[in-house]
Amino acid sequence: MNMLEVTGLNVWFGSHRDRVDAVKDATFSVGQGESFGLVGESGSGKSTILRAITGLAPDWSGDITVEGTKIGKKRAKGFFKTVQMVFQDPYASLHPRHSVDQVLGETLHLHGFKDIDARVVKLLEDVGLGQRFRFRYPHQLSGGQRQRVAIARALAPEPDLLLLDEPTSALDVSVQAEILNLLADLRAARQLTYLMVSHDLSVVGHMCDRLAVMKDGEIVEILDVDALRNMNAGHPYSQHLLKASL
């Protein structure tokens, strides 16, 4: 069974003369346990697809199905126990006045967990921080540490599908590989499914099994990672991206 199916997805902003069509007729599926990439230049609609799935982009049409259940305009309460998102900017995604303990503890409480103290400690260990970071605030953490906290927060509800929106692009190059390796390890340990947005083909080649290439809001080609590594793309735009990545 597919974890995620997106069929004929259109996403737009504004209306009438001010309407901007950000995603046009996007169709793809992500198998259970698969890591699937969305690649393309800035403004191609990659992140907008993630926002439509989570309900952050309210104006959309088409079908989005998660674990066999078609989702509507409003997300059911249980949706966010299945689907979580890690945002691009770890500086903006954490509340500056909330400690790591508050960030994780409130998320666990919101999703109905009881043994919160033990779970907070386990989450911090799982993302390579440990409990010494539990009562620190975001300004006391490096960018990589903040992103680890953001990943821990996304893992707290024990989701099956993680949406990763350029999870390393705001980090120093020296830290990026650490976060990608952490995500790869977590996927294996927790049998997670990933939908990852990136403009960096080397990241997608490292993390993903298949990828969709986007241009001007449309998916122009779906490739497996072997085709990517062998520079074997069919669409001229995909070929252009591959050549530009050399």
**Domains of the chain from N-terminus onward:** 2-244 (3.40.50.300)
Q: Is 22 helix (H, G, I), strand (E, B) or coil?
A: strand
Q: Which of 201, 151, 139 is nearest to 181 (CA)?
A: 151
Q: Which of 180, 172, 115 is nearest to 151 (CA)?
A: 180
Structure tokens at 99: 């400690």
Q: Which residues pair with 60 in a beta bridge?
A: 11
- Cα torsion 203, 139, 98, 181 to 10°: value is 20
Per-residue pLDDT of the chain (246 residues; tens, 9 = 90+): 899 999 999 999 998 999 999 999 999 999 999 999 999 988 899 999 999 999 999 999 999 999 999 999 888 888 999 999 999 888 888 999 999 999 999 999 999 999 999 999 999 999 999 999 999 999 999 999 999 999 999 999 999 999 999 999 888 888 999 999 999 999 999 999 999 999 888 899 999 999 999 999 999 999 999 998 888 888 999 998 888 876
Secondary structure element (H or E) that encloses residue 63, with its range: strand 60-66
Secondary structure element (H or E) that encloses residue 29, with its range: strand 20-31
**Residue-level pLDDT at 216:** 95
How many C-beta atoms surround the C-beta of residue 127 within 10 A?
23
Contact (Cβ atoms closer than 8 angstroms) between residue 83 and residue 53: yes
Q: Which residues pair with 70 in a beta bridge?
A: 65
Going through 173-224 in order, the beta strands assigned E by DSSP cover 193-198, 210-215, 218-224
**Residue 222 — φ and ψ, nearest 5°?**
-115, 125
Taking the C-alpha atoms of residue 71 and residue 81, their distance in angstroms, rounded to an integer, is 14
